[in-house]
Amino acid sequence: MSDSTKQNSEKGRYYWKSLKELHDDPSLAEAKANEFMSGVTDDFKLSSLSDVSRRKFLALLAASAAFAASGCSTYESKGEIIPYNKEPRGVIPGIPNYYASTCSGCKHACGTLITTQTGRPIKINGNNEHPVNKGKLCPRGEASILGLYDPERLRQPLRNTGHGFVPARWDNSNGAVIKALNAAASGGKEIAVVTKTVLSPTAKKVLDEFAAKYPTTKFYSYELVTDVNRNSAWKKCYGTDQYPLISWDKAKFILALEADFLAKDGNMVEQMRMYASTRNNENLKDFSRLVVAEAGMSLTGMNADTRLKLRPEEQSNFVMSLLNELIVKRNLSRFALDKEIASQLGSVSLEDFAKRNNIERSVLDNMVSYILKSKNAAIVYAGHRLPEPVHIAVNLLNEVIGGTALYRTDQARVQLLPYSTPQDFEGLISRMNSGKVGVVIHYETNPVFHFAPDFGYKEAMVRVPTSVTLGKWENETSVWSSWVMPINHDLESWNDFKNRTGLYSLQQPVIYPLYTTRQKEAIVLTWTTGSDDAYHDTMYHEYLKNRWQNEVYSDLKPAVDPKMFWYSALEDGVVTYDEKPEASGNFNVEAFKSVTPPPMPEGFSIMLDESYAIGDGEFANNGWLQELPQPVTKAVWDNYASISDATAKELGVDYNDIIEVRIGDRSQKLPVYVQPGMADKVVCVDLGYGRTKAGKVGTDVGFDTNVLLSKKPSLSQWLYTGGEAVKKAGSYLIVTTMEHDFISEPITRDMPFTRDIIHEGTVEEYEQNPRFIQQETAIDKPTTIYKKFEYEGVKWGMSIDLNKCTGCSACVISCEVENNTPVVGKDQVKVSREMAWLRIDRYYTGSVAEPMISFQPMLCQQCDDAPCENVCPVAATTHSPDGLNMMVYNRCIGTRYCSNNCPYKVRRFNFFNYRYKFDGGYYAREPVEMVNNPEVTVRSRGVMEKCTFCIQRIMFGRQEAQQNGKPFTGAGIVTACQEACPANAITFGNYLDSSQEIAKLRDHPLGYYVLEELDTRPNVTYLAKLRNI
């Protein structure tokens, strides 16, 4: 018996394969021994192979191919694309995963919750756990997901050859930069790092370590528009660095001076939530009153109960007159005893102020008495663009009226790296020019575009031997740099954020970097180590974890172990702890005594501000944001010069005519937008447009108005007095989603009211007669001879509280992201073909000079008797048994009859295949399709589409209920617009379930339906706006 048979028999049985084997044939034994010939069974040694064997050749071929492949490997070529033959843990196609993270789209660093489907992020929402934004996000944050998939993101480092950029390798680029850094450090030349607001303590540590390694490093930090004036005024008055946060939710009276706190001034998401909570129609006692004094028309101004038109240079006078009224005339507060203050205020009075600015005295008196009535709950808030003296005066005013009670003491802002002053930058630029700067690093910044032209940044920068620009996209600065390094998107990055006391916010990647990009902190870390070899994918991740373990963990001393602490922090995305802000001292009266009235030159006041949608221009390449109607003007894809009607007449211009705006020797030609309600002889212009290197979408959109900035401030860095506006030849079409001329025609002016579109009243009216809206609408209630359909179990309804809605348009973007809405471009919006399912209607009433504004989010009303349904010849739009007006895209042939018959015009039609039409198919390019929500059909050309109350979410909820064997009540289902609304104005639910909030709101005394007399029986209830006047 052979060995093998023995082995077999040892197991108890003998298995034989052939008779030869059974009989132990010796020939078989020999054949077996030779089964694997020599050189085959031996260890594979290349050298031991004969000279030119087939195997040697193949082996060498395979090896060289493998080396070739691994030698130039990228993320793409690592072969990461593996189909889900076996599902990874926690990933189920169709079931989204959510990750808490932080948005770094602006300096406010809101907490986010990112929805991913099979590993790709498709939507960014606010993180409910985050104490600042509490589950909400601004339009920019919502839309920033498109940036991740932007086909024009930089994919690899670029080297400037002197005549164009060529792709470079990371090791080469980093090697060259490190060499330059070493040379600069040893040669005593400055290494300048230009950054925006530094929000991350870990990133700050990285930068500090970098500075330690290269001791000639200096940091410069800027933002296009900052609150430095407010903070410096605060420091003068109270001695601490940061202006406090404000308890907007406790305010009963708010006087906003040129302060757009609902949009651009501060964290709009938080401020809007707090403000909206004071506009609660269930609590009329604490119903706040908002007075806005401003020159332009801001979103906050549009929401004001009383709005005063005031040129920016008059703001100082206004505050002084109020102080005079309260301190001198009414002898309020301890300052009344101060003779110096009395004499300082002696030259102004509310009468003079009212007379000069054409404001009715009674309005001011009314305001003053309201302020006095709301003791300790009134706040005066000056906008961040106003000059320091106004802020100082406002600080005093708040002392007088008790506004200080609304300063938050539980939390304060934190600034890790103070902003550089214009003098700092002048110094840098002169050192650049004189060759004292060896390396300049643009740490995701774009100073060539942002800096006032009189700095001469670009000219200075090109003299620096090595300039490195880190960024996600090419920009105006990167094209002049010697190296461009691509960095990770937020959604591919690790970080921590701290811009408030007692609060850490964590950012975690939700997708592996799409390209060979690196996180900007990791790049700096690599430089600090001095060799590109030190870089690895998890470099910054480990650094962050280490810092958290060694510093944060030991600081906070939580009751869990470090690992547990880290993972729970990541899960929540946020860590809150007890950290009292620095207490501020008493008001320093001397600071006020130095306040002098500003000069009041003749001419125009030019007011510059960041764009609402694209910020300082960073979001210029985001089609969703470019196409978001500006909440005030409803213009898309442009900036323009807003002027008042009277000024337009004086200049002899109308909409779309060109004027040249001049400040000193700086000028820019801009098209005119005649904005109702603006102060005369004021031009308001948005910054951030007119980019020349922003990618295909963002380049040459609007006009570069940064050229109007100057390093020498006028009234302030952003407000210039003594400017000029001159009519020029030509015209330029500003495209808006709403026509703008119907306020000037008498027959159309009051239509929102005469047509039952807007119902509103005052708080007083509501107090006296809670049913006044119902009485108003009673005559509209039609009768019918038809039997109504009986709904059972579930009937969807929505309620929109117009008291809370500020028109911010966060819902619009959220809807677009959720429902795969295409970008159509300016030319298509011009012919009214924008695709947003939800729009914010804005109505002016009253006069052009002093209009009243009403907002109304308009989406499909899901009418019970929908006019669209009975006219569709092919039954492509039908009604569901739970009361939804549904749209069957596959069935639609595109007659557009449904839209013609829709009184709300909320249906949108695919006149083209917009993904292919827009900008030569820009959003049809790889990898943009990954942004699409897989639960929502991407609509083709020739199909009608509209809102269906996020039916995909309803279906998800229903499936879950069915799977769990529970009755489906619809509780907990949230639509995308509702999810986004910072003001919590939208409520959605099943109103047949009396436990849901919507059931109560359906019968709210303020509730009404738009165009009720048509008897379409909508399922969207609007709660009438109450004005507190």
Chain residues in the site for another protein (CB under 8 A): 738-739, 742, 747-748, 751-752, 754-755, 757, 828, 831-833, 839, 841-843, 856, 858, 867, 870-875, 891-897, 899-901, 903-905, 907-913, 917, 940-944, 1010-1011, 1014
Cα separations (Å) of 228 from 242, 381, 385, 448?
Answer: 9, 15, 9, 21
Nearer to another protein, 523 or 902 (CB): 902
Paired with 663 in beta bridges are 666
309 Cβ contact partners less than 8 Å away, ≥ 6 residues apart: 293, 294, 295, 357, 359, 677, 678, 679, 849, 850
- CA dist., res. 795 & res. 809, Å (int): 27
Q: Name the minimum Å distance from CB 629 to another protein.
A: 11
Nearer to another protein, 86 or 788 (CB): 788
Secondary structure, 3-state, 533-566:
HHCCCCHHHHHHHHHHHHHHHHHHCCCCCHHHHH
Q: Name the minimum Å distance from CB 637 to another protein.
A: 17
Q: Name the minimum Å distance from CB 828 to another protein.
A: 7
Residue with tokens 């506006």: 725
- Contact between residue 215 and residue 185 where contact means Cβ atoms under 8 Å apart: yes
- CA dist., res. 689 & res. 675, Å (int): 19
Q: Name the minimum Å distance from CB 265 to another protein.
A: 27
Nearer to another protein, 164 or 873 (CB): 873
- CA dist., res. 177 & res. 447, Å (int): 20
Q: Name the minimum Å distance from CB 885 to another protein.
A: 14
Nearer to another protein, 685 or 1010 (CB): 1010
Residue with tokens 């410096």: 232
Nearer to another protein, 75 or 912 (CB): 912
Nearer to another protein, 704 or 841 (CB): 841
- CA dist., res. 307 & res. 289, Å (int): 11
In this structure, what are the phi and psi dihedrals at residue 832, rounded to the nearest 5 degrees?
Answer: 60, 50
Tokens of 916: 């292919």
Q: Which amino acid is at 224?
A: L
Nearer to another protein, 594 or 832 (CB): 832
Q: Name the minimum Å distance from CB 924 to another protein.
A: 14
Q: Name the minimum Å distance from CB 463 to another protein.
A: 50
Nearer to another protein, 182 or 895 (CB): 895
Compute how many other C-beta atoms are within 10 angstroms of the C-beta atom of residue 648. 24
204-208, Cβ contacts within 8 angstroms, sequence gap of 24 or more: 204/416, 204/417, 205/547, 206/521, 206/524, 206/525, 206/528, 206/540, 206/543, 207/524
Residue with tokens 């298995």: 15
Omega of the bond leading into 927 within 30 degrees of 0 (cis):
yes
DSSP calls for 520-532 = HHHHHHHHHHT-G
Q: Name the minimum Å distance from CB 895 to another protein.
A: 6
CA nearest to 480, candidates 496, 462, 497:
462
Alpha-carbon dihedral 311, 317, 322, 325, rounded to 10 degrees: -140
- CA dist., res. 2 & res. 21, Å (int): 9
Nearer to another protein, 726 or 1014 (CB): 1014
928 Cβ contact partners less than 8 Å away, ≥ 6 residues apart: 146, 149, 150, 151, 922
- CA dist., res. 77 & res. 327, Å (int): 73
Nearer to another protein, 165 or 843 (CB): 843
- Contact between residue 863 and residue 1018 where contact means Cβ atoms under 8 Å apart: yes
Nearer to another protein, 615 or 857 (CB): 857
Nearer to another protein, 770 or 942 (CB): 942
1015 Cβ contact partners less than 8 Å away, ≥ 6 residues apart: 782, 784, 865
In residues, how long is the chain? 1029
Tokens of 127: 């993180």
- Contact between residue 452 and residue 470 where contact means Cβ atoms under 8 Å apart: no
Nearer to another protein, 897 or 956 (CB): 897
Nearer to another protein, 123 or 908 (CB): 908
Q: Name the minimum Å distance from CB 345 to another protein.
A: 46
Nearer to another protein, 32 or 755 (CB): 755
CA nearest to 159, candidates 397, 486, 412:
486
848 Cβ contact partners less than 8 Å away, ≥ 6 residues apart: 645, 676, 677, 743, 744
Nearer to another protein, 699 or 748 (CB): 748
Longest Cα pair distance anywhere in the chain, in angstroms?
127
- Contact between residue 321 and residue 352 where contact means Cβ atoms under 8 Å apart: yes
Nearer to another protein, 603 or 894 (CB): 894
CA nearest to 501, candidates 582, 558, 569, 418:
582
Q: Name the minimum Å distance from CB 889 to another protein.
A: 10
Q: Name the minimum Å distance from CB 748 to another protein.
A: 6
Nearer to another protein, 754 or 995 (CB): 754
CA dihedral over 137, 140, 146, 150, signed as positive or negative: negative
